[in-house]
Amino acid sequence: MSRITKSAQGEVCTVRLPNVCNGNPETTVLAHINGVRFGHGVGRKVNDIHGAYCCSSCHDALDGRTHTNFDKDFLKLAHLEAVIETQIKLIKKGLINE
C-alpha cells in the first residue's frame, strides 16, 4: 500500500454525493478514477495521484455497486472534482509536489 493510499485513512470524503455520502471518515479509502485514457485496464489501476478520498457509500455509487439517481456524467464529474480536491490535500501533506 502506497503512502498516498494510506493517507486516505481517517480523511473526510471529498466526493460527497448528495444523499449518498455516509460522512464516516473510518470508511474512507482512495478511489481511483476509471478510464483507459488514464491508464486503467484489466488488473490495472491508475496512478495513486488520480484517486480521491472517498467514503464507502460514495465509492459503491461510483463503482456501480449501488444504484443512485445520478447519471454517469454527474458521477464522473463528482469523482474528477474530488480527485482535484484530494490532490490539493496531498500537496499540503507533502505527498506530491506542485
Q: What residues are labeled active site? A: 32
- Calpha distance 27→12 (Å, rounded): 9
Q: Please say whether the beta carbons of 46 and 32 come within 8 A.
A: yes
Q: Which three cell numbers stand for residue 66?
A: 449501488
The one-letter amino acid code at 76 reads K
Instruction: Provide the 8-state DSSP code for 81.
Output: H
The neighbouring-strand residues paired with 10 are none
Q: Which three cell numbers stand for residue 25?
A: 471518515
